[in-house]
Amino acid sequence: MTPEIAKGTKKVHDLSEQVLVLPDVYEPCDDTYMLMETALNEVRPTDSVLEVGTGCGVIAKRVAERARCVIATDKNPRAVENAKLNGVEATMGNLFADLDSRFDLIIFNPPYLPSRGDISRDWQTQAWDGGPSGREVIVQFLSQVGNYLTQKGRVLLVISSITGYKDVTELMHVQFRIVRVIAERKFFFETLYVVLGAESTQSEGQ
37 neighbors 183 (Cβ within 8 angstroms): yes
Range of the domain at 40: 23-200
Q: How many domains does the chain have?
A: 1
Answer yes or no: is 83 within a domain. yes
CATH number, position 62: 3.40.50.150
| pTM as predicted | 0.86
Per-residue pLDDT of the chain (206 residues; tens, 9 = 90+): 344 445 455 555 454 567 889 888 988 888 999 999 999 999 999 999 999 999 999 999 999 999 999 999 999 999 999 999 999 999 999 999 989 999 999 999 998 666 766 555 665 666 556 566 668 899 999 999 999 999 999 999 999 898 888 999 999 999 999 999 999 999 888 899 999 999 998 765 55
Q: Give the rounded distance of the alpha carbon of 19 from its chain centre.
A: 17
Answer yes or no: is 107 within a domain. yes
Q: Is 187 helix (H, G, I), strand (E, B) or coil?
A: coil
Answer yes or no: is 206 within a domain. no
State the pLDDT at residue 125.
64
DSSP result, 3-35: PPPPTT-EEEE-SSSEEEE-TTSPPP-HHHHHH
Answer yes or no: is 56 within a domain. yes
Answer yes or no: is 3 within a domain. no
State the pLDDT at residue 148.
96
State the pLDDT at residue 111.
84
Answer yes or no: is 14 within a domain. no
